[in-house]
Amino acid sequence: MRRKRFSNMDETPNKRTWDHFVRWQKSRRSVSKDYSFVIPNEPQPNIDYLQANRTDNTMVWIGHATFLVQMGGMNIVTDPVWANRMAMAGRLTPPGIGLSEMPEIDLVLISHSHYDHLHFKSIRGLRGNPSFLVPEGLGVKFLYKGFNRVEEFTWWDTKKINNIEISFVPAQHWSKRTPWDTNASHWGGWVIKDLSKKETIYFAGDSGYFPGFREIGKRFDVDFCLMPIGAYEPEWFMGMQHVSPEEAVQAFLDLKGTTFIPMHYSTFRLADDTPWEAMVRLQTEWKRRGLEKNQLAILKLGEILKISSA
């Protein structure tokens, strides 16, 4: 039976040819970048607090697109990746919290199938007996790996679990893990809402800039936007699938969010931009737009952000 293939909104093309890839690799040879600057780790994360907490809404940036979100009495992990390497490149900075230090996890949210967002060895190391919420088409991969508590979502699907409501929302991207499964599973972001405290987090996953940000902003009152700002260069190659820092700011405005939290930088070298370049471009655009300083929350790795007081 022929596998279903997924596409972007408005059928935006998302395939790169081998010629495109070769052109990018050739251009990389003439570029020398300084990766000495990375986002620092919190020296002493309060691990005991995180492991015991079931009352406060918090979030912790582990690295790249991996967050620990504690909301509505549940422990949630987004795109779990504790890997030390990604392809041929080593991790630029250690995870904010070690895998063995994590509290017991209730839910794991997966944005798409790419290896820098889905690392099964990391998943197997999580404590607890979590449920896995994944995009349509990806559930079979989890079942094959032996994970039975898995549920597939299509865009705009919503599920209520205890005191939280979780929705799968569109992104502009693509998926692939093998030469044979290009776009055989979908991609998207997640909206997590505490129904009692009326606090909402939008986790973008991985996305290029697209009209869907405005639509998400219309449907949800977003407090915290976890937005990617890295892996955008060269923009002729990466632009469809990864927002630049300037586009991330525009997406934040489209979403009508309250607080912008940058992610997807300073962990792995996936493209030609550096953590320093991403951060400078983000802050320059923030200032150019005249946005309030306290709306931009640049987290250390392992830093605990208490949502209600942010």
Per-residue pLDDT band at 34 (split at 50, 70, 90): confident
Nearest to 127 by CA among 69, 59, 75: 75
Q: Is the pLDDT of residue 23 over 70?
A: no
Please state whether beta strands 85-86 and 89-90 pair in parallel, antiparallel, or not at all (unpaired). Answer: antiparallel
Q: Is the pLDDT of residue 30 over 90?
A: no
Model pLDDT, residue 20 = 57
Per-residue pLDDT band at 11 (split at 50, 70, 90): confident
Per-residue pLDDT band at 2 (split at 50, 70, 90): low
What tokens were used for 120?
């099964």
Average pLDDT of span 294-302:
97
Model pLDDT, residue 22 = 62
Nearest to 109 by CA among 93, 132, 139: 132
Taken in order of first residue, the domains within the chain and their CATH numbers are 45-309 (3.60.15.10)
**DSSP conformational letter for 294:** G
Q: Is the pLDDT of residue 1 over 70?
A: no
**Integer distance in angstroms from the first to the last C-alpha of the chain?**
50
Q: Is the pLDDT of residue 74 over 70?
A: yes
Percent of the chain having pLDDT more than 70?
93
Per-residue pLDDT band at 29 (split at 50, 70, 90): low
Q: Is the pLDDT of residue 36 over 60?
A: yes
Nearest to 101 by CA among 132, 133, 75: 75
Give the lowest-confidence range in 144-148, 236-240, 291-295, 297-301.
236-240
pLDDT in tens, 195-225: 999 999 999 999 999 999 999 999 999 999 9
Q: Is the pLDDT of residue 238 over 90?
A: no
Residue pair 217/258 in contact by the 8 Å Cβ criterion: no
Percent of the chain having pLDDT more than 90?
84
What tokens were used for 185?
């599973």
Per-residue pLDDT band at 235 (split at 50, 70, 90): confident
Model pLDDT, residue 89 = 84
Model pLDDT, residue 237 = 78
Between residues 36 and 237, the one the model is more confident about: 36
Average pLDDT of span 66-93:
95
Please state whether beta strands 131-135 and 150-153 pair in parallel, antiparallel, or not at all (unpaired). Answer: parallel
Per-residue pLDDT band at 87 (split at 50, 70, 90): confident
Between residues 239 and 297, the one the model is more confident about: 297
Model pLDDT, residue 60 = 98
Cα–Cα distance measured from residue 95 to residue 125, given in angstroms and rounded to the nearest whole number: 14
Helices (runs of H) and strands (runs of E) counted in the chain: 8, 15
Query: Across all residues in the chain, what is the average pLDDT?
Result: 93
Average pLDDT of span 83-110:
95
In the chain, beta strands by DSSP E: 58-63, 66-71, 74-78, 85-86, 89-90, 107-109, 131-135, 150-153, 158-161, 164-169, 189-194, 199-203, 224-228, 259-263, 304-306
pLDDT in tens, 136-169: 999 999 999 999 999 999 999 999 999 999 999 9
Q: Is the pLDDT of residue 229 over 90?
A: yes
